[in-house]
Structure 1
């Protein structure tokens, strides 16, 4: 039985369904049927605008974001698909905190729903730092169906790592 590292927290029955699709060579078809489009957000500037639009719509009172960019260094081996950071610097006699969101560059070629999910996830960290009930409730508020898209994103990551013969 093949371990599914991105799906380990899910029930065995769901993992078995994914394994069955892999064995039948139909996992890529499943994903293509559900997520067929490609988004137009291809530059850091466009990603910043996209992120700020979502922030303005759902989190007006959250702290400002200074930088949003696609990061080539974030990849599956580090299990980081996006990062939110706060960098503190002393300027004169004041402490300035700059907030950044970095999204893994692999999402330039992903379905728009996956990019949306990652951005919503990182924006939710502006209000809730931990992955707790309130965090996921906020994600679901900003993106109805968040949990299904997160699951499908994990299936997509599993598919990306399959040998091309199985994909």
Structure 2
């Protein structure tokens, strides 16, 4: 039985349920029942617009985003599903920061709910830098089922690691 890399922080009873689904080769079926289709936001431009729509809905007064893009250099194995960065530059004697969000390319062919969970997570970092109670409250404000989506996203990554592609 392979190690459940993406589910290590979860209680043993949940990991045991996922192991059982893997043994019965039913993990993909469960995911497909919940999330039958991948999203169609496959370009950086569409990802940027999607992210800006969420930002404008929930975090209008937060710092602006200069870039949102898929990034094939993000290795989900290192537990990063997306990245947020603030690049500081001096312009005309003033220090200006530009915020960027990058999403792992593996999510180009994932369900929209998983993409939303990652984008919401990275947007929350515009207001809350640490993974604390305020951070997760903000994530749940933007996506009420945030914690379930995070777990399901990690099951999806487990499926990819063990069985390969879920969507054609």
TM bucket (normalised to shorter chain) is over 0.9
Which whole-Å CA distance do the structure 2 matches of 1:47 and 1:15 have between them? Answer: 32
Partner in structure 2 of residue 28 of structure 1: 28
Work out whether 1:7 is the aligned partner of 2:7: yes
Partner in structure 1 of residue 64 of structure 2: 64
SS of 1:161 mapped into structure 2? helix
Question: Deviations for 1:70-103, whole angstroms, at most 9, x for unmatched residues?
Answer: 1111122332110000001122311111110000
Which whole-Å CA distance do the structure 1 matches of 2:107 and 2:163 have between them? Answer: 20
Task: Give the gaps of 5 or more residues in structure 2.
Answer: none
Give the CA deviation at 1:144.
1.2
Which whole-Å CA distance do the structure 2 matches of 1:28 and 1:124 have between them? Answer: 30
Which whole-Å CA distance do the structure 2 matches of 1:37 and 1:141 have between them? Answer: 25
Partner in structure 2 of residue 98 of structure 1: 98
Partner in structure 2 of residue 120 of structure 1: 120
Number of matched residues? 164
Which whole-Å CA distance do the structure 2 matches of 1:55 and 1:47 have between them? Answer: 12
Which whole-Å CA distance do the structure 2 matches of 1:116 and 1:37 have between them? Answer: 14
After superposition, the CA RMSD in angstroms is 1.1
1:95 to 1:41, Cα distance in 2 relative to 1, 3 A = same
Task: Give the gaps of 5 or more residues in structure 1.
Answer: none
